[in-house]
Structure 1
Amino acid sequence: MKNTSIFCRSLLRGTGQVMFMDNVNTGALFLTGIIIGSWMYGTVIVAVGAMAGLIASTIPAYLLHKGEKDADQGLCGYNGILIGCALPTFFADTLFMWTALIVLSAMSPWLRELMNKPLKHLGINALTFPFILLTWLSFCFALPTATSVPTETVHGITVSSLAEGLMNGVSQIFLINSYICGALFLLGLLIADWRAAVWCALGSAAGIILAFAFSQDTTAITNGLYGFNPALTAIALGTVFRKSAMLTIVGIIITFFIQIALAHLLPQVGIPGLTAPFCIATWIILVITSKRKVNE
């Protein structure tokens, strides 16, 4: 019973660690948001994939008695749950897709460990890049693509649509377009660390403002597609790595422009940007600040 309890807590922590929160209650709210959000939009398969990826990435650490400390903290699960959300979003419900989901999720903790060894010398860590690399790899498998979920085209901007866009920017961290889901995610952050909730909301809002300022697609903006990367960067720099507000804002702006650049480059090779803008921008700020400390 004790081992079962530890394992369940590890799963919840792994869910929370997607936004750097080592908190069981936060993870429970995140999972609730994933289930509700995917159900509302008729994509329950995403919630099933999330659970499958989370479990597949956490179990090997315990079975092989390798990385159990990281597993207890949820650090083995967060890339797996993102892979579990991504593959059912992009690919059709086939046995091959589920096999790829399980295998790639199980690989994610080892890829994270492999990346962290050289990256630690730069003062950074893998963040969600194992999820990104393994999801990009899945596009090499020629899996049948999923049927697109219809999105409502926005013809005019209202306060309501902007508020939904802000929440959607939070929910899109898990590749889910649901303002209710986003609200639950923010509540989960608030329980763990109110500063993380504030920075997350500010990051999503900043993404919306920058996207409008540079005349990006209105529907994409209100669906949160310009909010989730800045939101993650804001949490990382403003809360986890305790950088100044100015550096965090700079990181958010860098994130936006990297996203714009990747949106033009990556479709040429048929892969999505995912959370790559967040990873790259956060790495840039952390490397610059760590070098400054060394020079001082």
Structure 2
Amino acid sequence: MNNPLEYFTKSILHSSAQIMLQTNSVAGILFLVGIGINSMMMLLGCMLAILSSLAAAKLLHYNGEAIQKGFYGFNAALVGIAVFYLLPANLTAVFFVIFGGALSAVIMHFMITKIPAIPALTAPFILSVWLIVLIIDFAGIDYAGVEVLVEVLPKTFVAPNSLSFIGSWSLIDLIRGAFRGIGQVMFQDNWLSGVLFCCALLVSSYKTVLWAILASLIGLLVANYLDFPQEKAVMGLYGFNGCLVAISLANYYTQKYWFIIPAILFSVLLTRGLEQVTVVALTTPFVLTIWLIVALANVKSLFDKKRKSKKKVIANS
């Protein structure tokens, strides 16, 4: 094992990097900088939640290598960002950050050890935030000026006048819109954050960056074509799940790119569908889309094995 300081530093940076499926310290640093240029409070929440998850993982004697790779910290990082997105900066928020960070590590460990056939992805983050939202609602705690189940918009946002809002956009507007979608993976409504996140992805692969940008653009264009709420579309809220879907599939199915576009489209539609039933979607569309792909791949693999088995029987008879 590395010396304690190196181990600790890598665990934190890899936890940040794993949010977008990277295992690279430089990517982790760039992600943290991307969060910080938009919101220092969210960066604080991210770091505090990571520390909470790492402490829980160490105290519960989870696998040291998995801790260092960031497997127990990236969901916590998202929880920490989400809490400071939802709540004003106070002791209550700090409590939920620490609680949610530790809880996400426990859920992650359960999924890794008890149901390894199902990729955990960001499910621990989703479940942790859902529980926190339930507690907040039950306790009557005030949100930080946002409506969690309906519109989540910055006070300074001004929506376009036209329903087909992209028709009046320049190429620069489209590019910025795509970067905002990438930034929203970590709740950052800032195209500069998206640019830094792309720089982080570029450390590993230029193809990953291209897929992330394409996925965000698809979310924006589909939202425009289907007249989804303009405000959310312009903020990139229909693109970030597609970004995660594209990055995940491009990493794990390197020779089968043909189904990535349909998967991105499905995640966009699923995002809108979950909004319609007033569910706090978060990264649920990403998780459900990947789970569906994995299930279909397993069914296809099983079918192929049976078909080969039948051919062998026929050949031997």
Q: CA deviation at 1:243?
A: 6.1
- Alignment correspondent of 1:41: none
- Alignment correspondent of 2:12: 11
- Alignment correspondent of 2:125: 131
- Alignment correspondent of 1:146: 144
SS of equivalent to 2:95:
helix
Q: CA deviation at 1:241?
A: 4.1
The 5-angstrom pairing of residues 206-245 of structure 1 reads 206-242=218-254, 244-245=256-257
Superposed CA RMSD in Å reads: 1.7
Counterpart of 1:295 (choices 303, 309, 314) is 303
- Alignment correspondent of 2:285: 277
CA contact (8 A) 1:237 1:243 kept: no
Give the count of matched residue pairs: 285
Q: CA deviation at 1:278?
A: 0.5
CA contact (8 A) 2:246 2:264 kept: yes
The 5-angstrom pairing of residues 1-296 of structure 1 reads 2-38=3-39, 44-121=40-117, 124-142=118-136, 143-148=141-146, 149-155=154-160, 157-159=168-170, 160-242=172-254, 244-265=256-277, 267=278, 271-296=279-304
SS of equivalent to 2:37:
helix
**Distance in 2 (alpha carbons) for counterparts of 1:280 and 1:233:** 10
Q: CA deviation at 1:141?
A: 1.7
Letter in 2 for 1:13: H
CA contact (8 A) 2:38 2:190 kept: yes
Larger RCO: 1 or 2 (CA < 8 Å, sep 6+): 1
Letter in 2 for 1:70: A
**Distance in 1 (alpha carbons) for counterparts of 2:239 and 2:36:** 21
**Distance in 2 (alpha carbons) for counterparts of 1:151 and 1:240:** 40
* C-alpha distance after superposition, 1:228-270 (max 9, x if no partner): 00110010112234362221111111111111110111x2xxx
SS of equivalent to 1:120:
coil
* Structure 2: 5+ residue stretches without partners: 147-153, 305-317
Q: CA deviation at 1:117?
A: 4.0
* Structure 1: 5+ residue stretches without partners: 39-43
> TM-score normalized by structure 1?
0.91
Q: CA deviation at 1:118?
A: 4.9
**Distance in 2 (alpha carbons) for counterparts of 1:36 and 1:99:** 24
* C-alpha distance after superposition, 1:126-178 (max 9, x if no partner): 10011001101011222320034324213254223222110010010001101
**Distance in 2 (alpha carbons) for counterparts of 1:2 and 1:77:** 19
CA contact (8 A) 2:72 2:109 kept: no
The structure number with the bigger radius of gyration is 2
**Distance in 1 (alpha carbons) for counterparts of 2:61 and 2:4:** 13
CA contact (8 A) 1:164 1:222 kept: no
Letter in 2 for 1:104: G
> TM-score normalized by structure 2?
0.85
SS of equivalent to 2:116:
helix
**Distance in 2 (alpha carbons) for counterparts of 1:119 and 1:6:** 27
CA contact (8 A) 1:195 1:239 kept: no
**Distance in 1 (alpha carbons) for counterparts of 2:232 and 2:174:** 12
SS of equivalent to 1:183:
helix
